[in-house]
Amino acid sequence: FKSSPVPYNEDIVFPGIKPDPLTSNIYSVGERILLTWLNFCYANYKNKIWYETERGGEPPSRWIVNFDIDLTDSLAFGAVLGAYCPFLVETHLKRMYATADTAEKCFHNALILIECCRKIGLDYDINSLDITDPNSISLILFCAFLFQKLPQYLPSCTIDFSSPLHQVAAKEIKIANPSNKNIFYEAILIGSNKDNFSLPKGIELPISAKSNALLSLEFNSNNLKPGNAYLILVGKKRGTVPADTIVFYLKTCIDELTAKKIVKFQTPLYRPLDLIVEVENPYDQAGEFSVKIIESDNVNGTIQNPFKANSQNKETSELPSMKPSLSNDSELSKSSSQSFGTKLKLGNEKSKQKQFMSKDFPIYSAFYTKTQSIKLSAKGKSSFEVNYLPLQMIKHSAILLFSNDKMGEFLYYLEGNANLPEPSRTLVDEKYLDATKVKYLKSNRPQNRTLTFKCVIGDRIKIKLLIPVCNLERENAIIMATEMRMSDEELKRRKVHGFLSSKSLLESLESLTLNKKIQTSTIKSAAKSSIVHQEEMNYSIFTKLNQYLHVQENLLIKSEDLVSDDNLIPLVIEFNSDVPGNMQTNLELKFLPNDVRIIPLEFRVTEGSFTESSAAFLKFSTNIFDNIRQAIPIKNNSEIPCNYKVEMTSLKGDKSVFKGISQFSIPPKDVYNYDLKFLPNAEETFEVNKTCLIYF
């Protein structure tokens, strides 16, 4: 009794027993040991087994002093089984009545107890009536049987199974028979993840005398959650004495996430994208899958397994760390994995995100969906909508996890790239312009934010741009992202009270932060610097037209300029060209990764006065479906080769009747004959405006 292992608790020991036979005038020393053992297990494990039972609440505290009346409700036997076999708690023992005050409830508990014994291979000739209508001698013998057999159900060791998702991991267990007689084992799989394990060579394992045998075990990884199961090798009597029972604790974990499908897309920064994903059910069964989006919380786009190895169920959490070595009669042929890391395998891991910002910078959520589940037929397909709204110019990665409790999980990998945003609102200080050298051409279309200027070859012009402190496009995107995540009730309340576009929505940026493990002060500081504007911002300026356009490398917006969103910051640019034509470029202002602005510029450079018009009028007249070809000479007067792009705008009729190449290039001081063909398809007048633009 003193050497018996205490089940799953190394801090307590069994109470002492006085070996003096005169201590009791009723029970012998062996009977007192059995009563002490029953009382110990009942007192220490009853609240762990029936802590949330719906059948009578918590079991009463009491002493077990006999082998008949006190055992009729089967709770003492249930506590003993739950102490040594915790995997029976959720499936069987919790269904017992904790307060069995009627004969029907006692019989119900006895049926469950007998079912438990059959489940784990305890071969003893006893039925329910032997417990509810007790005989002291029969129950003493049953208690002695459990006292001898149940310690063998404590796991000998832990076997770790780690494999990629939806792949099979196989291991072999080597069992040795040191005796002079043949033994026979029957394998039983039990536990929460038993359906994911299989015995490909069958459940029977005969071992000859003085020899070894290999038991094959396979794990099919369909679930991301770390799970567990038990492998019980029950010794069966086949003409000889049965061998002792051996139990292995099987621990599972997914060490590599394999996406069923990779979806890549891109959209301008701050612009929402409604992404439609075609989802295919990889299983042969129909069912409803819950959907969850798990986003990357780092700059490199890596995603960890959302179900950590320590986030197991209560059955597993009660187990202490098992000893790594096996008992004398068995050993593992392969060493099990000791660490459980999880990475996402996509097949293309060469491209990595540039670490242009601090590791402690907050990463904001970019993916969202209101759909919580999707129904899929067996091997069927369905559409699923995901909203993508990037608030930062980084690569956004996410896992679209589809989960079904019975079948398992599968996942899709989403990768979104935020391109340069749409043009920002920018003003021009017209008083600063030299009217003799440059002319500012305003557009009549409000949606056209290209700043167009006209000048003459060789003139060096200066332009003062007025940059708003507030990035209106980004603030509208933040408000839109916050509205997406609002409940219908909150959205309706804000619409009624007119707070839907309130500045208070901008202050909720912290709720969109994914990497909340960083200091809260860092998140608030980043939010203030980009929304409330309490810190200075230093923008880097970039343009591809460096040969002709000269601009400073940085634009510093000081803290005193950030007091009001209506403030404008001046930015002076200089332009000088020695070639004629239309030159277009973008001025990129970047305060990475949050604030990026694009200012489109167009310079129309003429050879004469910038007030002259460089245009030609061509008139064609022909029959329907008869074509006319006209070669238009275009000369490059510059010292460098020029690339031209042809744009055509319809003024009247169908513009497709005029045909010509869209791009061409002209060497220095050379002439190119542009071939224009006119093929009318109706008896009417057609008018188009063709423009040749120089691009770099």
Q: Which residues pair with 414 in a beta bridge?
A: 263, 398
Give the SS3 label for residue 609. coil
d(CA 234, CA 184): 8
522 lies in some domain: yes
* In-domain check, residue 278: no
Does residue 81 share a domain with residue 53? yes
Rounded Cα–Cα distance for residues 183 and 477 (Å): 72
Please state, in angstroms and as integers, the Cα–Cα distance from residue 414 to each residue in 277, 350, 478, following that order. Answer: 10, 17, 21
Dig out the tokens for 551 from the structure. 């601009």
Residue 84 sits in the same domain as residue 37: yes
User: Which residues make Cβ contacts (< 8 Å) with residue 251, sequence separation at least 6?
Assistant: 158, 159, 160, 161, 226, 228, 316
Whether 591 and 462 share a structural domain: yes
Is 105 strand, coil or helix? helix
What's residue 349's pLDDT? 44
> Three-state DSSP class for 592?
coil
The reply to whether 576 and 431 lie within a common domain is yes
At 505 the pLDDT is: 60
Q: How far apart are CA 508 and CA 492, in angstroms?
A: 18
Alpha carbon separation from 103 to 99, 128, 139 (Å, rounded): 11, 12, 18
In this structure, are 526 and 674 located in the same domain? no
Q: How far is CA 22 from CA 19, 28, 33, 37, in A?
A: 9, 9, 14, 20
In terms of residues, how long is the chain?
696
Domain co-membership, 496 together with 550: no
Any domain includes 299:
no
Can you give the CATH number for the domain in which 115 is found? 1.10.418.10
Return the closest-CA partner of residue 367 out of 300, 295, 298.
295
Q: Assess contact for 310 and 340: CB atoms under 8 A.
A: no
Q: Which pLDDT belongs to residue 224?
A: 81
Pair of tokens at residue 573:
């640019």
The string over 13-49, giving b where at least 16 C-beta atoms fall within 10 Å of a residue's C-beta and e elsewhere, is ebeebeeeeeeeeebeeebbbbbbbbbbbbeebbeeb
The token pair that represents 361 in the structure block? 């910078």
| Contact criterion met (CB below 8 Å) for 694 and 582 | yes
- Give per-residue pLDDT as tens, 547-598: 899 999 999 988 777 666 678 899 999 999 888 888 889 999 999 888 999 9
Instruction: Identify whether 239 is part of a domain.
Output: no
The CA distance from 4 to 33, in Å, is 12
- Give residue 79's pLDDT: 93
Q: Are 505 and 482 in contact (CB under 8 A)?
A: yes
Same domain, 591 and 661: no
C-beta separation of 114 from 136 below 8 A: no
Whether the Cβ atoms of residue 46 and residue 77 lie closer than 8 Å to each other: no
Q: Angle of helix 136-149 relative to helix 29-49, nearest 10 degrees?
A: 70
What is the pLDDT at residue 483?
Answer: 85
Residues 449, 585, single domain; the answer is yes
Same domain for 516 and 554, yes or no, is no
Distance, CA of 348 to CA of 338 (rounded, Å): 28
Last residue of a domain, one of 482, 504, 532: 532
Identify the segments of the chain with pLDDT beneath 70. 9-11, 13, 19, 21-22, 53-56, 239, 301, 304-360, 498-509, 516-535, 562-565, 608-616, 637-639, 690-696
Domain boundary pick from 95, 125, 152 = 152
Residue 512, φ and ψ in degrees, nearest 5? -90, 0
pLDDT of amino acid 516: 66
Collect all residues with Cβ–Cβ distance below 8 Å to 567 and sequence separation of at least 6. Answer: 468, 469, 561
| Structural domain count, the chain | 4
Partners of residue 467 on adjacent β-strands: 569
Cβ neighbours of 56 (radius 10 Å): 15
The C-alpha atoms of residue 629 and residue 226 are separated, in whole angstroms, by 73
Report the pLDDT value the prediction gives residue 339, as an integer from 0 to 100. Answer: 30
User: What's the pTM?
Assistant: 0.66
Instruction: Tell whether 294 is covered by a domain.
Output: no
CB 636: neighbour CB atoms within 10 A? 21
Is 506 a member of any domain?
yes
CA distance 178 to 616: 104
Q: What angle do CA 362, 365, 368 make, to 5 degrees?
A: 170
Q: What is the CATH number of the domain that holds 557?
A: 2.60.40.10
Residue 621 lies in a domain: no
36 and 146 in a single domain? The answer is: yes
Amino acid found at 172: E
Question: Do 503 and 650 sit in the same domain of this protein?
Answer: no
The residues that bridge with 455 in the sheet, in sequence order, are 605
> Do 35 and 148 share a domain, yes or no?
yes
| Domain endpoint, select from 513, 532, 551 | 532
The answer to the question of residue 168 being in a domain is no
- Quote the pLDDT of residue 506: 59
Find the domain containing 465 and state its range. Answer: 427-470+535-606
